[in-house]
Structure 1
Amino acid sequence: MRNLSKAPLIGVLIAALFAGLVYLFAWSSIFAVSTISITGAPTTETEKTISQIAAISSGQKLARVEPRAIAHRIEDLAWIKSVEISRNWINGKVEIVITPRTPSAYFNGSTMDASGAIFTLPGFEGADLPRVSAPTPELGLSATELFQSLPEEFKSKVISLSAHNQSNIAMRIALDGREIKVLWGTNEKSALKIEVISALIALEENKNIRRIDVSAPHAPIVK
């Protein structure tokens, strides 16, 4: 009989404890957001975008900060590669760690990373990236890989690249104050092709040429 009489009391105590915990975490100011940290955002504009999407404010109840839901919203941004969000129940700090996609080229007016993902990165100014045009991201990657494989001295002269197919890559380069179109062909024998281009440019009779075809470097064509 004594055990039965204690059962309702234990239930009441458990319910009271549960209600107290709910209040403590969901309503009390003890467990509230003290600071919000955003790391990994590559530009000021992207950091502002993350902050707006996360919509977390100082003083907000930590229990109402839902890391998984916020992460899903942020991952909808095309320039986001991954995101991790954590809450610290002791100091009230919320951390948002961003891993952005890294632009490797301008592709058809947008930016593209090394995986071929196309995106627009707010506030990004990458003047040193190659400008690539191609019918598909895969061909755009081929042109970008060619650019990255070039020696720095020659790479600095490249204005833009285009790829119609794997065997038909072309580029525009600036040499001696002239803009010259170079039909490169496949991404092969780059050292030889650069040597041939330099030799052709050095010839007096080629001072007015505007096009060089080194797709077959042992039999180049100039126009």
Structure 2
Amino acid sequence: MDSAVNAKGKKTAIATLLLATVIAIAYLLGWSSVFVVKSLAVRGAPSTSVAAIIETRSGIHVGDKLARIETRKIQSTLSDISWLDHVNIARNWLRGSIVISVSEKSPVAKFRGHLLDEQGSEFDLPQSAKVPVPTITATTQQLAKLGLLLMYSLPEDIRSKVSGISVASRQVFSFTIAASSTREIAVEWGNLEDSEVKIKVYRTLIALPENRKIIFMDLSSPFSPIVK
């Protein structure tokens, strides 16, 4: 009988100790001043002023309880910044530090005065630097995305020289390409079909000596191209 009582008493004592430990840990993490934010840093921002904006948008302040910082929620909030490609928040419990690491989207084209990423989403970089990417002219963003489709269907050596793409409709594409430092060629591409054939015809025509001064090429019918 006594042994049963002692065993029950030990279990109660252990349970009480565990509960007290959990309460103590919860207090340390959530209410005490032991685990608080002592430093906040932003890495990957293009300037200190932009880093300050990200700090403000994060809502994190020195003195905040580390356990109460919802990293996923903050990442979601910062992801609303259009030019951000990736956001990561690292929390160091021992040092009391928070590091927000960010990276910018890479622009591939311009459209309606804004930049486009590879998915065709519009954004603006935080600093107004001149970005050497082609300008897409189209009436809708959906057509602009088709312009990106055309751009990426071109080989790198041709794509890198494209300065502008025009999408009049789903069947009518054209682009301007730099033939030299002083001459551009306007290329009527037609629709997105037979791209491989059109690329071969383009290479053949551009290599001909008699075409060294052309400024126009119509490849909409690749088997009967026109140059001027």
TM-score by length of 1: 0.71
Partner of 2:11: none
CA distance in 1, matches of 2:67, 2:58: 15
Amino acid at match of 1:185: G
Contact 2:29-2:66 at 8 Å conserved across structures? no
2:46 to 30, 43, 66: 43
1:181 has 2:186 as partner: yes
Deviations 1:164-211 (CA, angstroms, capped at 9, x unpaired): 22221110111143112111122343343234334444353x555432
Contact 1:130-1:144 at 8 Å conserved across structures? no
Amino acid at match of 2:46: T
The count of corresponding residues between Structure 1 and Structure 2 is 206
Aligned pairs (5 A) from 1:21-36: 25-26=30-31, 28=33, 30-36=34-40
1:111 has 2:86 as partner: no
Contact 1:31-1:62 at 8 Å conserved across structures? yes
Contact 1:111-1:120 at 8 Å conserved across structures? yes
1:222 has 2:219 as partner: no
Amino acid at match of 2:119: S
Partner of 2:127: 123
CA distance in 2, matches of 1:118, 1:147: 17
Quote how far apart the aligned CAs of 1:113 are. Answer: 2.0
Quote how far apart the aligned CAs of 1:108 are. Answer: 2.3
Identity %: 35
Partner of 2:160: 156
CA distance in 1, matches of 2:226, 2:45: 44
Quote how far apart the aligned CAs of 1:128 are. Answer: 4.7
CA distance in 2, matches of 1:96, 1:152: 35
After the TM superposition, which of the residue ranges 186-195 and 150-159 deviates more from structure 2? 186-195
Partner of 1:4: none
Task: Describe the shift of the 1:154–1:81 C-alpha distance in structure 2 as closer, same or farther (beyond 3 A).
Answer: closer
Amino acid at match of 1:43: P
Secondary structure of 1:172's aligned partner: strand
Aligned pairs (5 A) from 1:1-223: 25-26=30-31, 28=33, 30-39=34-43, 41=44, 43-44=46-47, 46-62=50-66, 65-67=69-71, 70-80=74-84, 83-85=87-89, 87-98=91-102, 101-123=105-127, 125=129, 127-176=131-180, 177-201=182-206, 202-204=208-210, 206=211, 209-223=214-228
Deviations 1:61-118 (CA, angstroms, capped at 9, x unpaired): 4356454553453233223456454544333122334465443322222112222221
Secondary structure of 1:193's aligned partner: helix
Task: Describe the shift of the 1:23–1:173 C-alpha distance in structure 2 as closer, same or farther (beyond 3 A).
Answer: closer
Contact 1:193-1:214 at 8 Å conserved across structures? yes
Secondary structure of 1:70's aligned partner: helix
CA distance in 1, matches of 2:131, 2:171: 27
Secondary structure of 1:94's aligned partner: strand
Provide structure 1 residue ranges, at least 5 long, that are not aligned to the other structure: 1-13
Secondary structure of 2:100's aligned partner: strand
Amino acid at match of 2:93: W
TM-score by length of 2: 0.70
